[in-house]
Amino acid sequence: MSRHPGTDKRRFTVLVNPKIREGQRRQAALRKFIKDCERLYEKNRAHRQEDTGNE
C-alpha cells in the first residue's frame, strides 16, 4: 500500500472513472484516423502532381 493515499491520481482516475479512459481511447483513435487521412491526401496530391507534369 502507498504511504500517501491519493497521490497516485492516474491509477485512481482509471479505477474510478472508466469513461475518461474510454474517451482517451476514442481521441487516440480519432487522432490516428486523421493522421492516416492526411498521409493519404499527401500521397494522392503527389500522384496528381506527377500526372500533370507528364502531360
In angstroms, what CA-CA distances link 55 with 19, 37, 41, 50? 54, 28, 22, 9
CA-CA distance, 28 to 11, in Å (whole number)? 19
Q: Give residue 11's pLDDT.
A: 57
Q: Which of 50, 46, 27 is nearest to 38 (CA)?
A: 46
Whole-structure pTM value: 0.58
Give the per-residue pLDDT at 18: 78
What is the distance between the alpha carbons of residues 36 and 39, in angstroms, rounded to a whole number? 5
Residue numbers of the chain with a pLDDT score lower than 70: 1-16, 54-55
Q: What pLDDT is recorded for position 49?
A: 87
